[in-house]
Copies of this chain bind each other. A is one copy, B any other.
Amino acid sequence: MDTKKRSDCPISCSLDIWGDKWSLLIVRDLMFAKQCTYGDFLKSGEKIATNILATRLQMLEENGIVAKLNHPDSKAKVLYKLTQKGIDLLPVMIEINLWADKYLTLPAEQKALLKEVKKNKEAFIKTRIKELKETS
């Protein structure tokens, strides 16, 4: 798997883990949905290829950002959820959203969602983290 490391810089080390075009979208899905099956990710609009999804999930799991759980309904299904390490990417995610809100053209629904965040960023993050932490 991806095991090469460049420098010791925090940015560089972080990018080595989740700095590709897909990983943060997987994390985003889990921040919205709290937990997803493999199929949920595939159906989530971005059209990620199934093999890429598999390697990314493996990478994220190896690095302790997501965890695999047994699905309560079926042994054939798997549940993915964020670990604390993954949940703590929320501030990064928020700042990317705010930057995009300022500089990119986003659909109205996205803009609306971000209005709430801008009202009180710290509070939003805090309550959202609490929600994500709750054991389902």
Task: Give me the interface of A with B, judged by CB distance under 8 Å.
Answer: 6-16, 19-21, 24-25, 28, 45-47, 64, 85, 88-89, 91-104, 106-107, 110, 114
Given contacts A15-B21, A21-B16, A24-B11, contact A99 B106 (CB under 8 A): no
Total copies of this chain within the assembly: 2
Give chain B residues whose Cβ lies under 8 Å from the Cβ of A11. Answer: 24-25, 28, 93, 96-97, 100
Q: In the complex, given contacts A7-B46, A11-B25, what are 20 additional A-B residue pairs having Cβ atoms less than 8 angstroms apart?
A: A6-B47, A7-B45, A8-B106, A9-B28, A10-B100, A10-B101, A10-B104, A10-B110, A10-B114, A11-B28, A11-B97, A12-B46, A13-B104, A14-B99, A19-B20, A19-B24, A20-B21, A88-B99, A88-B102, A91-B95
